[in-house]
Amino acid sequence: MKTGLAFEFPATEGIKYAGSKLKLLPHILQLAHKVKPKSVFDGFAGTTRVSQAFAQIGYKVISNDISVWSKVFGLCYLKNKKDKNYYREIINHLNALPEKDGWFTENYGGLPNGKNSSETDGFKKPWQIQNTRKLDAIREEIDCLNLDEVEKSVVLTSLILALDQVDSTLGHYAAYLNEWSPRSFNKLKLKVPRLFESEKEHEVFSGDIFKTIENVKTDLAYFDPPYGSNNEKMPPSRVRYSAYYHLWTTIVLNDKPEVFGKAKRRNDTSDTLASSVFEEFRKNGSEKFIAVEAIEKLLAKTQAKHIILSYSSGGRATAENLYEILEQAGKIIDVQKVNYRQNVMAAMRSTNDWIREAEKPNQEYLFLIEK
């Protein structure tokens, strides 16, 4: 990949993910390079692609996310010390297991012939039955292999990446396609993840950012929180991470939870139980967006000299609100707007520039702030 960067652009690996920063990576790395950090905190790590890139450049990385499966990815890429070959045998063994009917097949496996709806319950399914049968066999076996936490994370990451390759979804698990996607006919096949060596001792946290932040001190913090739509008439336009990716949680925990609805989401991902404050689209009593207020608190509590904040535009009001709190948090050194189509990053000349621009939906901004 040609990027014009001052360093080699590292490859990363991850699932399809709403808000994944894969395309923004070169720009994030370039901004980080400006302040030459030794340590970086990736507070909303998601797929961990940003963490993987930071680690390969040579920074010490601390990753965190509220999702348990993100921790698994973090342990796999940031904590593993073993060679790829060590895992080859385990992965071959798992790929060779005979198919088996189990909990995943019962809930998420559909018949490949005809329409994507199972004969058992009439609901659409995210995977074809031959692949959920593989999943049932492999997931059960993983618990019997006597692996340590990092080894198990490498193998679970491999399983999730493989399932992501044969899904019949639009990239999330809140609804499934009417017709089988072409890739869902492919056979589930695990590969050893793209492991790399790190000189630095990285750390992986899993939990609410406000808890983790108390214990993390770094030179730079990168924050990519979810952004709720500020259109109060359209709350469903929100991306709700725990609901969208419930299946990765269930595969990691293997806890056969109670499920509900057509997509068979875990009960603990219902709207009342699992909403992140950053996904909140409403205002509080003093007319401030609750999500923006959470970012204000986040910036104030961050123990890092520099912060890079990702922001996806969602309307003028939020942008104005956000600008106020960014100014209070410190000095805005740089604002970059990323145009996905042209894959260019433009420096914003004035504050009004970006507030005006932020009225347009789906624009990506990066703010570099010095505290």
Ligand X SMILES: C[S@@+](CC[C@H](N)C(=O)[O-])C[C@H]1O[C@@H](n2cnc3c(N)ncnc32)[C@H](O)[C@@H]1O
Tell me which residues touch ligand X (CB under 6 A). 17, 19-21, 44-47, 49-50, 65-67, 70, 208-209, 224-226, 241, 276, 278
Task: Annotate 239-252 with b (16+ C-beta within 10 A) or e (fewer).
Answer: bbbbbbbbbbbbbb
Task: Output 67 or 229, the one with its CB closest to ligand X.
Answer: 67
Task: Output 20 or 321, the one with its CB closest to ligand X.
Answer: 20
Pair 308, 225: CB distance under 8 Å: no
Question: Cβ of residue 362: shortest distance to ligand X, in angstroms?
Answer: 13
Task: Output 100 or 297, the one with its CB closest to ligand X.
Answer: 297
Q: Which residues pair with 289 in a beta bridge?
A: 283
Task: Output 13 or 65, the one with its CB closest to ligand X.
Answer: 65
How many other CB atoms are there within 10 angstroms of residue 63's CB atom? 32
| Sequence-ordered list of residues with C-beta below 8 angstroms from that of 42, at least 6 positions apart, any chain | 48, 50, 51, 54, 61, 62, 63, 64, 222, 224
Question: Cβ of residue 308: shortest distance to ligand X, in angstroms?
Answer: 11
Task: Output 22 or 332, the one with its CB closest to ligand X.
Answer: 22
What count of residues does the chain have?
371
| Separation between Cα atoms, residue 43 and residue 274, nearest integer Å | 18
| Separation between Cα atoms, residue 259 and residue 315, nearest integer Å | 35
Task: Output 137 or 309, the one with its CB closest to ligand X.
Answer: 309
From 62, 61, 305, 16, select the one nearest 207 (Cα to Cα).
62
Task: Output 43 or 257, the one with its CB closest to ligand X.
Answer: 43
Question: Cβ of residue 49: shortest distance to ligand X, in angstroms?
Answer: 5
| Sequence-ordered list of residues with C-beta below 8 angstroms from that of 181, at least 6 positions apart, any chain | 167, 168, 169
Show the beta-strand stretches assigned E in the chain: 39-42, 60-65, 109-110, 127-128, 203-206, 217-223, 259-260, 265-266, 303-312, 331-339, 344-347, 364-370
Q: Cβ-closest residue to ligand X?
A: 46
Question: Cβ of residue 275: shortest distance to ligand X, in angstroms?
Answer: 9
Question: Cβ of residue 71: shortest distance to ligand X, in angstroms?
Answer: 11
Question: Cβ of residue 205: shortest distance to ligand X, in angstroms?
Answer: 9
Question: Cβ of residue 243: shortest distance to ligand X, in angstroms?
Answer: 11
